[in-house]
């Protein structure tokens, strides 16, 4: 009987070690408007989470930039630009930077930096 109990315990331990934790990305909607910089305060983002930028097409765009481009409000030529008005962007680990490249929009606060763990 002891051998059977040990076998069951061993099987249970193996099964426990094989448990896979499934995480689901969270989707966050960003109202892409002037003075949006405070977006994300109090939120904890994880790599794989999705930001959905909502705006009227033709009034803004969303450009993925690096820290220097974000600080200067000036994207590099060929930077990835989204224009649908319902742009879904998956966050990568680290800080993710976004601006609107329409004239003066970034300077007027249409930009965010979001850090994902």
pLDDT in tens, 42-57: 789 999 999 999 999 9
Domain layout of the chain by residue ranges: 25-116
Question: Of 50, 52, 58, 109, whose CA–CA distance to 83 is shortest?
Answer: 58
The rounded distance, in Å, linking the Cα atoms of 94 and 27 is 17
Fold assignment, 25-116: Immunoglobulin-like (2.60.40)
Polymer length of the chain: 117
pLDDT for residue 4: 58
pLDDT above 60 for 7? no
């Amino acid at each position: 009987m002891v051998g059977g109990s040990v076998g069951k315990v061993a099987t249970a331990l193996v099964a426990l070690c094989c448990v896979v934790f499934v995480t689901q990305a969270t989707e966050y909607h960003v109202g892409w408007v002037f003075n949006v910089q405070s977006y994300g305060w109090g939120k904890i983002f994880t790599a794989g989470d999705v930001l959905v930028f909502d705006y009227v097409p033709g009034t803004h765009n969303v450009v993925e930039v690096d820290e220097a481009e974000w600080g200067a409000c000036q994207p590099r030529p060929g930077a990835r630009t989204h224009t649908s008005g319902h742009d879904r962007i998956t966050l990568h680990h680290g800080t993710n930077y976004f601006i609107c490249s329409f004239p003066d929009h970034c300077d007027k606060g249409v930009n965010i930096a979001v850090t994902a763990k």
